[in-house]
Amino acid sequence: MKQPDCIFCNIDQDNFILKNDLAYIIKDKYPHSRGHLLIIPFEHEENYFELGKKTRDAMNDLLIIAKKDCDEKYQPSGYNVSVNIGRSAGQVVMHAHLHLIPRYSKSNDI
């Protein structure tokens, strides 16, 4: 259920890059690199591992599309795909999400 005090439950749809039935993509507000995206389920669940398979599959579908788009737009030389689970692992927004972080040679990382 949508949580009134959760940032990712309350992102304005105008900011969605893409969505499907269960998840959406936005640009990270403080990107680690050019093209850093977040893939976020509509469902408010803190822990990625507690999400259902359909939701994880829907997030993965968006991840694959986003990666292809990023290849075309920015031609990065690599990617990090990451998910932080728990504050001790660096999770700051307690609504599960995947990071897609393109990586470049040092000179044009951002």
Question: In the complex, which residues of this chain contact ligand AMP (CB under 6 A)?
Answer: 7, 26, 28-30, 38, 84, 90-93
Q: Which does 64 bind (CB under 5 to 8 A by kind): ligand AMP, Zn ion, none?
A: none
Q: How far apart are CA 62 and CA 56, in angstroms?
A: 10
If one asks whether residue 9 binds Zn ion (CB under 5 A), the answer comes out as: yes
Supply the minimum distance, in Å, between the C-beta of residue 91 and ligand AMP.
Answer: 4
Of 26, 35, 95, 98, the one binding Zn ion (CB under 5 A) is 95
Among 19, 32, 44, 67, binds Zn ion (CB under 5 A): 44
The binding site for Zn ion (CB under 5 A) comprises 3, 6, 8-9, 44, 95
